[in-house]
Structure 1
Amino acid sequence: MFANRIKINSMLLILLSAVMLVSACQNKNTEVNRKATVEEFGKMPDGTPVQLYTLENASGMQVSITNYGGTVTSIVVPDKEGIMENVVLGFDNLDDYLAGTPYFGAIIGRYGNRIGKATFSLDGETYELNANDGDNHLHGGNVGFDKVLWNAEIGDNNTITFSYLSEDGEEGYPGNLDITVVYTLTDANELKIDYEAVTDKATPVNLTNHSYFNLSGDPESLILDHELMMDADGYTPVDAGLIPTGEIAEVEGTPFDFTEPYEIGARIDDVEGGYDHNWVLNESAEEMPVVATLHDPQTGRFMEVLTTEPGLQFYSGNFLDGTLTGSDGSVYNKHAALCLETQHFPDSPNKPEFPSTILNPGETYSTSTIYRFSTK
């Protein structure tokens, strides 16, 4: 009898171990093979179908991205009560994007931000770019990377890889530029964006993402009470056309000082037109340091920005004017959201004192940015 009990117990232990092993393997496979779902988002004017890809992690965070412009259409994260809401501006259909947006959630290039007078000189040759911001060139021109169809490939580990070939002469830029942008959603509630590019001719490159954030989850609740911190002791002052003067000014004692968390609306009226400036990030020994944090005291949502880039454009949604309505019916008024665009400095091709943005043949442009979400 006793021997039989030992035999039965041993068999039960073996069976239990086998079940645990299978379960562990299934969990591992679920994590490794977690992939995006895909659905049709609409059609281009020529009838070409456009897709919407949705990533979801183990805790239910969701990120949706369309191959039109590589555009992030929604980021759904929990608040301190566990309520899931979208924290970026966007639309639920392609037609609204085709009608025109202020770059909601899009990949920006070939050169993010502004190039003064829409011109630059390189290797003894002057290049004339398309002017689409008064006399200046903004976010890649009339048909920047935000307005093209990207090739998309769904990968393992919750990744989507977007690729695009920007041909020589596109929007006035020299060289064939081959670009890859990889979006990854981690189980740590991080949206990671990796950018790479190669060229066959020297050209300026400055890629970023133009998501508009409102951590309240309600775009009709303005971001003026959000608390922002940026690890930057300097910024680049601009002229009336928002082109940097070439100076790097100290933020201390000015409305540009966000070295400690500060309510955005507290000093915004002291900045003509609102915030739309590049901050010069402090150097760090870390490969990808936390360079900014954003907190909504009402919902408790907290976002950290990590990047390999030297600059950060903080734009406080000054040009939103109530003419656009989002996917949830919200009207997008002035200061309905803000952008934190990791980047090299604006007008660097015309400012040799700024970090270079010139990519040469044989080199690889490579930068990374993470938006990490939590509550506090």
Structure 2
Amino acid sequence: MSIEKNEIKVDGFGMVPCQSDNSNNYEIIKRYTLTNKTKSYVRLITWGAGVQSISVPNAKGILGDVVLGFNDIQGYLSNRFIGRTFGYETRRVFNDIISVNKRKLLSSTDDNSQEIFNDKSFDNVNWNSHILDNQVVMSHLSDNENKGKTLTQIKYSWTDENELHVNIRATSTRSSSVDVTNCYLLNLAGHGTGCEELKKHVITLNANECKRMDDKINFKDKNILKYVHRKNMFDLENIILLNKKRLYMIPDGGYNHFFTDNEFLNNNYYRFNARILHPPTGRFVEVYSNQPGFHFYTGHDLPNFQKINNQQRKMYGKDGILYDRYGGFMVSPSCYHQVLDYNNNFLNTLNPGSVYHHNMTLKFGVKTYK
């Protein structure tokens, strides 16, 4: 891994009202551009500790931005779930009372009010940031009435081999369920190429079990640690084309599932999660992490502009491009999704005095064809 010749530039990305006081002052959203010796670059923003852009070459050496996002801060304020960092219970949590060390936490009001990422203390804030050697370090102290104070630090580095390394650490003053991860949509053909190019991607996932992200868990189920596995739709250990037929055979029209490997030992070791290839451009990305699983999503909740109505708002991304359904995919490493022990405590509970650590790498490359 080489980052010695990398260049880091910082500029302003917009302004938001100060969140630390009731004054009329504003604070600046910073953007960091990390460029390596091949001129490939990553752009980070301090709003939500997010990734705004990743520009990598195709088989012809032409750089292309492969991350869905927006040109200014207003785009991120209007579209919450694009390119952010999320924490605590980072997936849908249903009704019932969850206890963390005998402390009761109400997850949701009823079955019909499912909320994704229902805590805004990570993604809807401006993180502190600075440059440390060839890394960008972002940190944030969140204060939650039920969960206590959680200090989170994220280090980003971009290598000459086009590898984005993300190192996350967190500590808490109270026992809390913590699962911090990056969530951004990729399209290896280019961020604005849409569903037609997404369906040309070829995927390989290192997993042998999976579960829908919105499945309800029966807390009294003795097999609570077991996941659903359907070979026809979810056997992705082999190379699979992400075509229209496969997407439409999935309930709800696309993947929104947590995949895991039941041979996972512990989080002291990196493991291969997924490899996604776009044959027409030759671009591929491999995802590695020290987590037991990952969320794989194919963007079917993005607005479908062919069936747009008054209730659906069009989403215009970078360069004014209209983002459509199936416009991108996401591989987001995380802890076991919504799995609780027999005392209804989350398995990813962070206790005072302990340190949460999550390491992940996105390795971009080019496959050439003779």
Question: Given the two structures, how large is their TM-score scaled by the length of structure 2?
Answer: 0.85
Q: Tell me by how many angstroms 1:150 deviates.
A: 0.4
| Count of matched residue pairs | 339
Which position in structure 2 is the counterpart of 1:88? 67
Which deviates the most, 279-288 or 358-367? 279-288
Distance 1:311 1:352 in 2: 22
TM alignment of 1:99-248, pairs within 5 A: 99-101=78-80, 103-117=81-95, 119-129=97-107, 134-141=112-119, 143-157=120-134, 159-169=135-145, 173-222=146-195, 223-237=198-212, 241-244=214-217, 246=224, 248=226
Aligned CA RMSD, in angstroms, stands at 2.5
Q: Tell me by how many angstroms 1:365 deviates.
A: 0.3
What secondary structure does 1:44 align onto?
Answer: strand
Distance 1:119 1:288 in 2: 34
Q: Which runs of at least 4 in structure 1 moved beyond 6 Å after TM superposition?
A: 130-133, 350-355
Matching residue's letter, 2:251: E
Q: Given the alignment, which residue of 283, 291, 294 partners 2:263?
A: 283
Distance 1:133 1:62 in 2: 43
TM alignment of 1:261-272, pairs within 5 A: 261-265=239-243, 266-272=245-251
Distance 2:136 2:178 in 1: 22
Residue 368 (structure 1) aligned with residue 350 (structure 2): no
Greater fraction of residues in helix: 1
What secondary structure does 2:234 align onto?
Answer: coil
* Paired residues of 1:118 and 1:135 also in contact (CA < 8 A): no
Which position in structure 2 is the counterpart of 1:304? 286
- Tell me the percent identity: 26
Distance 1:366 1:242 in 2: 26
Which position in structure 2 is the counterpart of 1:58? 37
* Paired residues of 1:229 and 1:293 also in contact (CA < 8 A): yes
Gaps of 5+ in 1: 1-29
Q: Deviations over 1:281-320 (max 9, x none)?
A: 3536792122100000110101000010001111110110
* Paired residues of 1:79 and 1:300 also in contact (CA < 8 A): yes
Q: Deviations over 1:5-29 (max 9, x none)?
A: xxxxxxxxxxxxxxxxxxxxxxxxx
| Alpha-carbon spacing, 1:362–1:247, altered in 2? closer, same or farther (3 Å) | closer
| Alpha-carbon spacing, 1:134–1:160, altered in 2? closer, same or farther (3 Å) | farther
The structure whose RCO (Cα within 8 Å, separation 6+) is larger is 2
* Paired residues of 1:119 and 1:126 also in contact (CA < 8 A): yes
Greater fraction of residues in strand: 2
Distance 2:114 2:92 in 1: 7
Matching residue's letter, 2:123: D
Which position in structure 2 is the counterpart of 1:339? 330
Gaps of 5+ in 2: 19-25, 219-223, 306-313
Q: Given the alignment, which residue of 8, 28, 36 partners 2:8?
A: 36
Structure label with greater radius of gyration: 1
What secondary structure does 1:110 align onto?
Answer: coil
Distance 1:363 1:76 in 2: 36
